[in-house]
Chain A
């Protein structure tokens, strides 16, 4: 009985953790690699989720429609990065605190626009597999968790391969490492950063669709996820893409165990506690290069 509970808590935790990793993946690029503290990223994800519900209402599958939406988000991300860099990078040295305030303001504005457009109620998607579960012996995995959770390993692998083996991907890692060296070698760091920020925004469209399959969300859902998303990125170690998956699962499993054996109402505190513990005792994270 207790083993069954444990097995189910762990499997649910792994699935939840995958979804957290998907949420945080864009942040792992923008914050982990580009050092842009985009606290608006979770709100981008929520925007992606709302876009998915709009197309779902027309009969589209949320995950399939999120792929073309990712292109739109890529473009929007580039435009937003242009706005951001016009303000900061040209003013001389970028002021992180000012940038944080800007992102804070932007996330508020997006949230409020969502509330005014869709109302403050929760919205959800309608897909065939909701309500059914995959049963493996004592472990029950609902498809509404399992299918969006599979998105995370796919995205993480794709992004990792892209950063490892393509020209632009290597350039992104190079800009994270040393911007000036990159420009000496004849690549425009501005272009590479814009591209990387666009990619980070594009992941928000897909992880938003994944998030809204898991359960209904409201325009303020991003706020709960800010701490979680940053906890994943910092616990993983700045810039570690595969580490994002591991850190997400670690947080997800801990939350599920706290929920199963303690009380579910304490689950939101888990990510915060792990974030603080990482900052206090191992700021470089699990897989981060020491700086």
Chain B
């Protein structure tokens, strides 16, 4: 956002829909369909199953980074515990699979509800005071969620849980192919939702809130309610991204469901890509996750975390608007 654009401008201005905005939405929708179609074609033609496992991880990061960015990027409230929400999604699905062999759509819906509720509860307790308290509470939330799972024997406690999730439908051509398609559909839906939030009145209000909370409140933006909604949406998205993991891996444990690497990546990807628009998290996730998948054979996971950490510090210090911000500065124009 340009510094000349004040919170008041953003909250009050009602730009009419220009014809070019409609055209852009059409191009975006066609792009989404194109990506999905490409996914179908690839799952039919590629033989090597490793591609599907690696692809699942990369696309999952697109979903996680996009979900995180709804709160972290648009509202400017940093959630340091995305794995708490992701893990709640994983364990909600695990519970349903173990209890009743729930099919994937049921698990996804339940995980979304659980994540939204957790987001609402966290937000209600911490978002009324300064944002820094919310951030701190989310760090502690991961420890809390892990403690709860450790204490529930039904969910396998600390040692993990092996499950027999329902098999993929026959038309999908196998479990890895099916899971890749599911994750791709989720990611595309998330990106579309994020773009919609961005161009809707809600996105404008969120930008106003981010620029100045007091000014936004004065201009009639219901800031607390808006923050709660953003928190619930973001929480639901992160939890939904976790639910299919149970069907993908059939073995879960607290160490992977609440993994540090996932938390770090969920934060680093939007910040490196650029957190102001939906493009940033997608770009950051594709870039970082692909490099990590390719490099995981050659470098240790510690070195991996170290490199991401250093790159994150560099971006925060030098280019707070990420790659998208750098590109916009170079080409001298501001994006949508």
| Interfacial residues, chain A to chain B (CB-CB below 8 A) | 37, 39, 87, 95-98, 100-102, 104-106, 108-109, 112-113, 115-116, 223-224, 226-227, 230-231, 234, 263, 265-266, 268-269, 271-273, 275-276, 279-280, 283
Contacts and interface: CB of A to CB of B under 8 A. Distances in A.
B141 interface: yes
B143 interface: yes
A108 B309 contact: yes
Interface in B137-173: 137, 139-141, 143-144, 147-148, 150-151
A102 B316 contact: yes
Contacts of A108: 264, 305-306, 308-309, 312
Contact of B135 (A100, A106, A266): A100
Given A263-B151, A269-B144, A269-B148, A87 B137 contact: no
Interface of B: 76-78, 80, 124-126, 128-133, 135-137, 139-141, 143-144, 147-148, 150-151, 260, 264, 267, 271, 302-303, 305-306, 308-310, 312-313, 316-317, 320
Contact of B80 (A104, A113, A116, A224): A104
Contact of B306 (A39, A109, A280): A109
Contact of B129 (A101, A223, A283): A283
Given A97-B78, A105-B316, A116-B302, 14 more contacts: A39-B136, A87-B317, A100-B132, A108-B305, A108-B309, A109-B310, A112-B305, A115-B302, A227-B139, A230-B136, A268-B147, A269-B148, A279-B137, A280-B124
A37 B144 contact: no
Nearest to A108: B309
A246 to B, nearest CB: 20
Given A100-B78, A100-B132, A283-B129, A113 B306 contact: yes
B143 A105 contact: no
A230 B137 CA distance: 9
Contact of B147 (A101, A112, A230, A269): A269
A101 B132 CA distance: 11
Nearest to B135: A100
Contact of B125 (A87, A95, A101, A276): A276
5 contacts: A104-B312, A271-B140, A272-B140, A279-B133, A280-B125
A115 B304 CA distance: 12
Nearest to B268: A105
A199 to B, nearest CB: 21
Contacts of B317: 87, 102
A81 to B, nearest CB: 14
A272 B150 contact: no
A208 B260 CA distance: 23
Contact of B137 (A97, A109, A276): A276
Contacts of B129: 279, 283
B136 A37 contact: yes
Contacts of B125: 276, 279-280
Contacts of B147: 265-266, 268-269
Of B128, B132, B136, B271, the most chain A CB neighbours within 10 A belong to B136
B305 A227 contact: no
A168 to B, nearest CB: 26
Contacts of A113: 306
Given A37-B132, A265-B147, A269-B148, A109 B313 contact: yes
A275 B305 contact: no
A96 B320 contact: no
A100 B140 CA distance: 14
Contact of A272 (B76, B132, B143, B271): B143
A275 B140 contact: yes
Given A100-B78, A224-B143, A230-B136, A112 B302 contact: yes
A105 B151 CA distance: 30
A113 B320 CA distance: 25
Nearest to B122: A276
